[in-house]
Structure 1
Amino acid sequence: MKDTERRILLGRIVGAFGVRGEIKLESWTEPRTAIFQYQPWTLRTPAGQESTVKGVRGKASGKHIVAVFPEVTDRDVVESMIGTEISVPRSALPPPKPDEYYWIDLEGLQVKTVDGVELGRVSHLFSTGANDVVVVQGSRERMIPFVQPDFVKSVDFEANLIVVDWDPEF
């Protein structure tokens, strides 16, 4: 798949809200309500069935988002949708600002130290709250804080490379 066609997972349906078909979403966008800016959505049920929806509206409510899907007006329908993932093509997202990156764009990049020691490739990233962490799979797994310029010295998409200031023994 071309990078622009890769799907980006933005959230998941986690429950019903009320009895009129409102849907509780978990959103991984920043801010959480930005999920509504990226439509249409591809919905993928836990069983693997896919469909497309657009025109979804919603608002923040506690730790979740409450959404209204067109033509969904019944709580039973919503409960059958729990666990459904929400994604969009990578091309639907705006370009990142300078020195900002979408995690999916970093996945698969090679990681080397400033001294040229190969550590492996980016498997995935996760957030600790304090900072993001790059998980590098190579001869062993390494977790490197994605802190620029302290640990991450450069990201070069042309060279498919991240250069880090990191002790290869750590």
Structure 2
Amino acid sequence: MTALPELHAAELPPDAVEVGRIADAWGVKGWFKVVPYSSDPEALLGTKTWFLQPAEKGTKSFFQGTLELSLRQSRMHSDALVAWARGVDDRDAAQALRGARVFVPRSAFPAVGEDEYYWVDLIGLDVVNREGELLGRVRELLPTGPQTTLVLAWEQDGKTHERLIPFVSAFVDQVDLAGRRITVDWQGDF
């Protein structure tokens, strides 16, 4: 039987953003692997408090509600992010967290530079072209090698379709986070 670590129940901060999930135990001393949702997991590495919620589906969760996880250490190891938290002192305790969704407060995110955006801020934005034609809504972003690609969902004749637009300055004219809109140099028939 897997032992649940001794962690504190907490409320999810109002500005919490889901940034990854716990994949599995790593080693025997309570370390665990984390799958970040970003190719640059600064938000995970830059904060010492994470909030966990059970997996939505798939992996059986050993807890309910929200838990506060106080990190001892987190770091990149090879191609994985690994972490060790207070109250998670052995492999069984780390294994009990498997599948948990990891949240951090948005206020803990590092500041972004000019013309830089967190992916989470782009999801849900409407994308229009220079002529004002609605091309779709950002459903997700895909890392495609040297660039990121916007994945848009749009409807035609009652069916949902997908449109891909490279998120590069050659095609993206403006990102208006406050207005929840991205303007692009792209045609609807592409």
Q: TM-score range by the shorter chain?
A: 0.7 to 0.9
- Aligned mates of 1:134, 1:108 — CA distance in 2: 11
SS where residue 71 of structure 2 aligns? Answer: coil
- Please report how far the alpha carbon of residue 142 of structure 1 lies from its aligned counterpart in structure 2 after TM superposition: 0.8
SS where residue 95 of structure 2 aligns? Answer: helix
- Please report how far the alpha carbon of residue 119 of structure 1 lies from its aligned counterpart in structure 2 after TM superposition: 1.1
* Contact 2:51-2:103 within 8 A present in 1 as well: yes
* Contact 1:41-1:88 within 8 A present in 2 as well: yes
- What is the letter of the counterpart of residue 116 of structure 1? G
The TM-score normalised by the length of structure 2 is 0.77
Of 128, 137, 141, 2:162 maps to 141
- What is the letter of the counterpart of residue 135 of structure 2? L
- Aligned mates of 1:164, 1:10 — CA distance in 2: 27
1:52 corresponding residue in structure 2: 68
Is 1:153 the counterpart of 2:173? The answer is: yes
* Contact 1:146-1:152 within 8 A present in 2 as well: yes
- Please report how far the alpha carbon of residue 42 of structure 1 lies from its aligned counterpart in structure 2 after TM superposition: 0.7
Q: More deviation in 7-16 or 125-134? A: 7-16
Q: Percent identity?
A: 35
2:3 corresponding residue in structure 1: none
* Contact 1:19-1:75 within 8 A present in 2 as well: yes
Alpha-carbon RMSD across the aligned residues, in angstroms, is 2.2
1:25 corresponding residue in structure 2: 34
Structure 1 residues 118 and 65, CA gap change in structure 2 (3 angstroms): closer
Moved over 6 A (4+): none
Segments of structure 1 that go 5 or more residues without pairing to the other structure are: none
Of 17, 34, 46, 1:37 maps to 46
- Please report how far the alpha carbon of residue 156 of structure 1 lies from its aligned counterpart in structure 2 after TM superposition: 1.5
1:116 corresponding residue in structure 2: 132
- Aligned mates of 1:29, 1:131 — CA distance in 2: 13
2:103 corresponding residue in structure 1: 87
Structure 1 residues 100 and 33, CA gap change in structure 2 (3 angstroms): closer
Segments of structure 2 that go 5 or more residues without pairing to the other structure are: 1-12, 56-60, 156-160
- Please report how far the alpha carbon of residue 146 of structure 1 lies from its aligned counterpart in structure 2 after TM superposition: 0.3
- What is the letter of the counterpart of residue 55 of structure 1? L
**Structure with greater helix percent:** 1
- Aligned mates of 2:180, 2:54 — CA distance in 1: 33
- Aligned mates of 1:143, 1:101 — CA distance in 2: 18
- What is the letter of the counterpart of residue 138 of structure 2? V
